[in-house]
Amino acid sequence: MKAIVKKNPALGLVIEERPIPQIGERDILIKIRKTSICGTDVHIYKWDEWAAKTLPLSSIIGHEFVGIVEKVGSKVVDFAPGDRVSGEGHLTCGHCRECKNGRRVLCPNTRGIGVNRDGCFAEYLSLPEENAFKIPNEIPDEIATIFDPLGNAVHTAFSTELVGKDVLITGAGPIGLMAIALAKKAGARTVVISDLNPYRLELAKKFQPSRIIDVSKESIGDAMKELDIQYGFDVSLEMSGSPQAFASLGEFTACGGEIMLLGILPAGAIINWHQVIFKMLKIKGIYGREIFRTWFQTLHLLQSGLDVTPVITHEFPMEEFEKGFEIMLSGNSGKVILDWTHL
């Protein structure tokens, strides 16, 4: 089978011929239809410091996919050949306190497909049955392949109540953009998004937030005045990983407000702790998806009319993966999809 592999400790990836993976008795073999490129994959493509210390060379990368079950192990009960599936890329241990408590999202022994073991940028993927998720027919492949990042947005936005709230989203990358649609659907009073990338600010218009802020030209405070948000934002969703954006949340989040952190900040990022303490702000880190609570929420939101299709801006056949990574690196894209259906 063809697979996209991190071969050399330098910029880039290569297509390699690999054997179709073996499956264990509780695994399913999935014939991949579409995959999408994540920021994580771009780190691996660039081979930055994080990638170099995390990823074994010769790994097949990728963790966002949709495909068709081709074969199942002898002890698989919930899946059969022909089922259309996506899946949770975080493999949890099943034995630790958190797994036993039904909180797989907190498992300290989590391993990621396409990071700690072979991933889904290949014609076939072997996945434990317990990580697979059936996708109903009405959900198109392009949406099914982005359940993982959409799930990140759902997990973040729905970690708190948004009804009637003023919501600030910092960062108009794909997850921030999808969070606009979620906050609107959840009944927020205002949804404001900030970024400084012109392409992304333009793309944000398609999601019709209350206000789009170009922080290179204007301040979040100006937008608050315009929208008559007197007390600050009730909920701030940090989705940029920018230390400047994070630092500003102490000022612009309302007293008693909540700050959800999904963007991966540098370890030394700072906030004014006086603002956090005297305004009684709550800060919560968000990682991954609740397995499978977030997946069902995501599916049901889509089935009840959530539309995130404008976030998908490019699609290439898998052979042209380099075009996809280059456009991701330029910042001039939303989600980029790779197609494997012709193989």
Nearer of residues 3 and 262 to Zn ion, judged by Cβ? 262
Q: Is 298 a catalytic residue?
A: no
Closest CB 337 distance from Zn ion, rounded Å = 13
Closest CB 96 distance from Zn ion, rounded Å = 3
- Write a three-state SS string for 60-112: ECCCEEEEEEEEECCCCCCCCCCCEEEECCEECCCCCHHHHCCCHHHCCCCEE
What sign does the dihedral 96-101-104-107 (CA atoms) show?
negative
Nearer of residues 157 and 229 to Zn ion, judged by Cβ? 157
Q: Is the peptide bond before 292 cis (omega within 30 degrees of 0)?
A: yes
How crowded is residue 202: how many other Cβ atoms within 10 Å of its Cβ?
A: 12
Q: Is 63 a catalytic residue?
A: no
Instruction: Report strand pairing: 27-37 vs 90-91.
Output: unpaired
Helix (H, G, I), strand (E, B), or coil: what is residue 311? helix
Nearer of residues 3 and 162 to Zn ion, judged by Cβ? 3
Instruction: Report strand pairing: 335-339 vs 312-317.
Output: parallel
Residue 107 tokens, joined: 């498992």
* Strand ranges for 88-207 from DSSP E: 90-91, 111-112, 124-128, 132-134, 166-170, 190-195
State which residue has the least CB distance to Zn ion: 38
Closest CB 255 distance from Zn ion, rounded Å = 34
Residues in contact with Zn ion by CB under 5 A are 38, 92-93, 96, 99, 107, 109, 148
Closest CB 316 distance from Zn ion, rounded Å = 18
Catalytic residue among 35, 40, 110, 298: 40
Q: Which of 175, 178, 209 is nearest to 193 (CA)?
A: 209
Catalytic residue among 35, 43, 110, 145: 43
Q: Which of 67, 115, 53, 68 is nearest to 89 (CA)?
A: 115
Nearer of residues 151 and 257 to Zn ion, judged by Cβ? 151
Nearer of residues 221 and 292 to Zn ion, judged by Cβ? 292
Any idea which residue has 């089935």 for tokens? 303
Radius of gyration of the chain (CA): 20
Nearer of residues 213 and 318 to Zn ion, judged by Cβ? 318
How crowded is residue 63: how many other Cβ atoms within 10 Å of its Cβ?
A: 23
Closest CB 265 distance from Zn ion, rounded Å = 17
Cα(207)–Cα(204) distance, rounded to whole angstroms? Answer: 5
Print burial letters for 3-14: b (CB count within 10 Å at least 16), e (below 16).
bbbbeeeeeebe
Nearer of residues 148 and 238 to Zn ion, judged by Cβ? 148
Closest CB 99 distance from Zn ion, rounded Å = 3
Closest CB 222 distance from Zn ion, rounded Å = 33
Residues with a known catalytic role: 40, 43
